Amino acid sequence: MIFGANDLQHTSHCDTLVDICRDAFCRGDAFDQKITGSPNVDRPLQRIREFRNRPNPGIVVTRDMLTTGVDIPALEFLVFLRPVKSRILWEQMLGRGTRLCDEINKTHFTVFDCFNGGLFEYFKSVTAFESEPLTKATRTYTELIDDIYQNRDRSIT
């Protein structure tokens, strides 16, 4: 799941991210989708159910609609490409990845803080979540998405 910065009609960061994913993976429109509360998103609640039950979409770009109250156990990657200043929202967004999933042997999840570790740094003294030491490799959006698709940075247990 990728959290985009905005979904404004005239300049949608979420739409740009979906386009980047589609160019990187070439898996068709069903694989990479935007789920937001925007009027141009057709049947967002149905898309959430589809994402929960998979196989498509495999990648979802959202702004706020999936930040809280959505249970998707198979979610392995959270990509933060939007700033967050609320501790409660930060913990809710991280919580999207915390569900275990026996179907895929999921024991952990990976967070990509695209602010050079700034989000983790900002919330480290006020959150209950613990993390491994951060790495600060610089990657483009396309490289980041390709790393997720190729299962790089994923431990096999």
Q: Is residue 155, in this structure, part of any structural domain at all?
A: no
Pairing state between β 2-3 and 32-34: unpaired
Overall domain count for the chain: 1
Instruction: Print the domain residue range for 53.
Output: 2-149
Q: How far is CA 157 from CA 52, 105, 108, 147, 154, in A?
A: 23, 8, 10, 19, 10
Q: Is residue 109, in this structure, part of any structural domain at all?
A: yes
The predicted structure's pLDDT at residue 148: 76
CATH of the domain at 64: 3.40.50.300
Consecutive 10-residue averages of pLDDT for the chain (157 residues): 93 95 92 90 89 87 91 92 93 91 90 88 78 64 77 53
Q: Is residue 40, in this structure, part of any structural domain at all?
A: yes
Q: Is residue 154, in this structure, part of any structural domain at all?
A: no
The predicted structure's pLDDT at residue 155: 43
pTM across the whole model: 0.79
Q: Is residue 117, in this structure, part of any structural domain at all?
A: yes
Tokens of 152: 């790089």
- Alpha-carbon dihedral angle through residues 13, 17, 23, 24, given to the nearest 10 degrees: 150
Secondary structure class of 46 (helix, strand, coil): helix
Secondary structure class of 79 (helix, strand, coil): strand
Q: Is residue 157, in this structure, part of any structural domain at all?
A: no
Q: Is residue 125, in this structure, part of any structural domain at all?
A: yes
Q: Phi and psi at residue 140, in whole multiples of 5°?
A: -75, 165
